[in-house]
Amino acid sequence: MLTSDIRLEPSLWIAWLAPLVIPIVVWAIAQSLWSKPGAKREIDAKNFRAVYVAATSVLAVVVPLTGSLVLEVRTSESSAALGLLLSAVTLAVFALVVGAYLIFKLSTLSGDTLTVEGGPGSSSAWMAIAGSVQFSCVIAFLVSALIGLSLFAVTSPNEQGSVGRDSGPARYALLRDLPEMGVTQDEVKRAWGTPDQSGEGWLLYRLANSSVTFCFVDDDLDKIIESRSEDQDAVQAPC
């Protein structure tokens, strides 16, 4: 499945946007609870700040790691897996921004006790609301990332397979585009360069963790085979 095709699938957008509803719902509930007059709570400012410092520090590391996973999963057959990981990145970035802002505001407060009072126009209720939203973003991020990775593991292509004239699109993550069936050996060499191994009617190219073999019939590309890295040295006449 091509990346350009995945982006157009509704399942990607549903999987991406659906988890984002969670912090919105939490915000609405927290806003409703803290808008009631008389709602009041005293919080240890030092402990309150430590929680968000820890969460924000972890998120600062997790965001780029999850982003790199997105680049890997974009080759998956499951657009839902890609959508869930994109949602996880979005949630993590939002939680990181909210957490950093909370840390900044908490650092400007004096005293060891933070009094949060509810009611219309309260100047301190926003802190409890923002804390609830940030916590919900972290939980939604963990759930989305876990489900997305599970889907990717289930739907990822087999380690070895072939693509023939009558088969569907290539399922493998390659650094270069696969040529169309029917092209000549010279056209493949122009696109892929000098093969690492070749024989009568076939060309083999070694990649980082696999090898790709192009099989020709009467100098026309008839089949494409991918082999795992541990099988590369055993390739003699694969076609």
Of the candidates 175, 183, 167, the one whose C-alpha atom is nearest the C-alpha of residue 225 is 167
CA atoms within 13 A on the CB side of 29: 10
64-119: pLDDT as tens digits: 888 887 877 766 667 888 889 999 999 999 998 888 888 887 777 777 777 777 77
C-beta separation of 34 from 117 below 8 A: no
Q: Are residues 9 and 90 in the same domain?
A: yes
Question: How much is the pTM?
Answer: 0.59
C-beta separation of 35 from 116 below 8 A: no
Element (H, E) at 49: helix 45-73
Q: Are residues 67 and 35 in the same domain?
A: yes
**Is 230 within a domain?**
yes
How confident is the model over 204-225, as a mean pLDDT?
87
Q: CA-to-CA distance for 210 and 205, rounded, in angstroms?
A: 9
Q: CA-to-CA distance for 110 and 231, rounded, in angstroms?
A: 65
Token pair listed for 95: 């939680």
**Is 207 within a domain?**
yes
Q: Are residues 44 and 97 in the same domain?
A: yes
For the cut 70, the answer to whether the pLDDT of residue 6 exceeds it is no
Of the candidates 49, 47, 20, the one whose C-alpha atom is nearest the C-alpha of residue 137 is 20
Domain limits for position 131: 3-155
**Is 239 within a domain?**
no
- Residue 92 vs residues 51, 145, 150: alpha-carbon distances, Å: 16, 10, 19
Q: Are residues 82 and 185 in the same domain?
A: no
Q: Are residues 150 and 176 in the same domain?
A: no
pLDDT averaged over every residue in the chain = 78
155, 182, 204 — which closes off a domain?
155
**Is 117 within a domain?**
yes
Q: CA-to-CA distance for 78 and 207, rounded, in angstroms?
A: 24
24-57: pLDDT as tens digits: 999 999 888 888 777 777 777 777 778 788 888 8
127, 155, 183 — which closes off a domain?
155
Q: Are residues 128 and 16 in the same domain?
A: yes
127-181: pLDDT as tens digits: 888 888 998 999 999 999 999 888 888 876 544 444 444 444 344 445 567 888 9
Domain total in the chain: 2
Q: Are residues 174 and 128 in the same domain?
A: no
**Is 21 within a domain?**
yes
C-beta separation of 130 from 123 below 8 A: no
